[in-house]
Each structure stands twice: as structure tokens, then as C-alpha cells.
């Protein structure tokens, strides 16, 4: 068994995102492309955006800190710390409304 501190991971990635030109940083904490389940912590500076992209499989976003907006076509959902969003099975984007960190869980 392995244990992870998502809070510590979010803090570290937030520091990296603060210095990154695109305002974001990410690290997979479990799984990977060769496995069914993948969990990735993503930190975003306020106003940073993950541009519209396809859904890689069933996915959820758990907001570890901050506030984000998930947009898919004409629909959008805002979430804050402690909220869980189910990522739609279509193209979507993610915007940080303030400095934020999320846990992206994907099952392919």
C-alpha cells in the first residue's frame, strides 16, 4: 500500500504553477496511461485555462482548493473546495476562477 498527501501535492504544484508561464502544473499520483485508472493532481493559477479537449474516458474532478469552472458547449458548472464534478462525455474546458487545485480521476 502507498499513502499520498493530496494537500501536500497540491501545495507543491501550486508553487510550480505560480512560476509557470501557462499558470498550471500537474502530476499523476496513481495509475497512468497503461492502466484503467489514473488520478492526477492539477494546480492552476487564477484565470489559467485548460483549453477545450476531448474526454479521455469516465472522469471526475474533485476540487482540493480554490474555485473552478468546467465548460462543455453551452453548459457550465462552478465548483469550490470539497465539490465533485462529473466530467461530461464531450469536449470541455476548465478555468480556475482563483488559485486552485483539483484531483482528476479518469477510468478508461
For residue 14, give the H/E element and its range: helix 6-19
What's the total number of domains in the chain?
A: 1
Question: What is the model's pTM?
Answer: 0.94
Domain of 35 in residue numbering reads as 6-107
Express each pLDDT in 84-93 by its tens digit. Answer: 999 999 999 9
- % of the chain surpassing 70 pLDDT: 100
What per-residue string of b and e applies to 55-91 under the rule 16 or more CB within 10 Å gives b? eeeebebbbbbbbbbbbbeeeebebeeeeebebeeee
CATH number of domain containing 77? 2.60.120.10
> Does 44 score more than 90 pLDDT?
yes
- Domain annotation covers residue 1: no
Q: How far apart are CA 106 and CA 53, in angstroms?
A: 14
- Domain annotation covers residue 52: yes
Q: How confident is the model at residue 77 (pLDDT cuts 50, 70, 90)?
A: very high
Amino acid at each position: 500500500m502507498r499513502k499520498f498527501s493530496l494537500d501536500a501535492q497540491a501545495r507543491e504544484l501550486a508553487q510550480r504553477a505560480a512560476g509557470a508561464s501557462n499558470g498550471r502544473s500537474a502530476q499523476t499520483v496513481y495509475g497512468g496511461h497503461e492502466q484503467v485508472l489514473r488520478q492526477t493532481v492539477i494546480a492552476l493559477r487564477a484565470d489559467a485555462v485548460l483549453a477545450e479537449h476531448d474526454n479521455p474516458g469516465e472522469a471526475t474532478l474533485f476540487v482540493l482548493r480554490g474555485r473552478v469552472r468546467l465548460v462543455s458547449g453551452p453548459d457550465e458548472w462552478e465548483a469550490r473546495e470539497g465539490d465533485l464534478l462529473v466530467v461530461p462525455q464531450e469536449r470541455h474546458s476548465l478555468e480556475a476562477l482563483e488559485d486552485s487545485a483539483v484531483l482528476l480521476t479518469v477510468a478508461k
